[in-house]
Amino acid sequence: GAVVSQHPSRVICKSGTSVKIECRSLDFQATTMFWYRQFPKQSLMLMATSNEGSKATYEQGVEKDKFLINHASLTLSTLTVTSAHPEDSSFYICSARPAGTGAGELFFGEGSRLTVL
């Protein structure tokens, strides 16, 4: 199946700094990628939909200025957590759907665990 890679898998940062997480589709092009946040033992919460070459669409309640999303190419989307605070500590997961397919499934990255001290 298609492979989606996230980097870094784990990151620890100090409060007030910014952290960038990359999501790459390794063997397919993805016009759309999705970013999720997941707390322990809970479901995935969609944060935003990332569209190649255009602005991301954020879900209600997600701060656009806090979580910057850039989808600069058909294989790369980035999530930047700006001025991170301890409450931003979480597990972030991206997913992507191959371009040109109406097929159902999304392919998920391995996730990135962010810890803000």
Contact residues for other proteins (CB under 8 A)?
Answer: 1, 31-32, 34, 38, 41-44, 46, 49, 51, 91, 93, 95, 97, 102, 104-106, 108, 110-111
Report the residue number, 16 or 27, with the smaller CB distance to other proteins.
Answer: 27
**Residue closer to other proteins, measured from CB, 14 or 41:** 41
* Rounded least distance, CB 89 to other proteins, Å: 15
| Minimum distance from residue 83 beta carbon to other proteins (Å) | 26
Kindly tell me the burial class for residue 47, based on how many C-beta atoms sit within 10 Å of its own C-beta (0-12, 13-18, 19 or more).
buried
* CA–CA gap between residue 85 and residue 49 (Å, rounded): 23
Nearest approach in angstroms of CB 99 to other proteins is 10
> Cβ(78)–Cβ(20) under 8 Å?
yes
CA atoms within 13 A on the CB side of 5: 9
- The encoded tokens of residue 23 equal 């999501």
Name the minimum Å distance from CB 102 to other proteins.
Answer: 6
Give dist(CA 107, CA 2) in Å, integer: 7
Which of 17, 42 has the CB closer to other proteins? 42
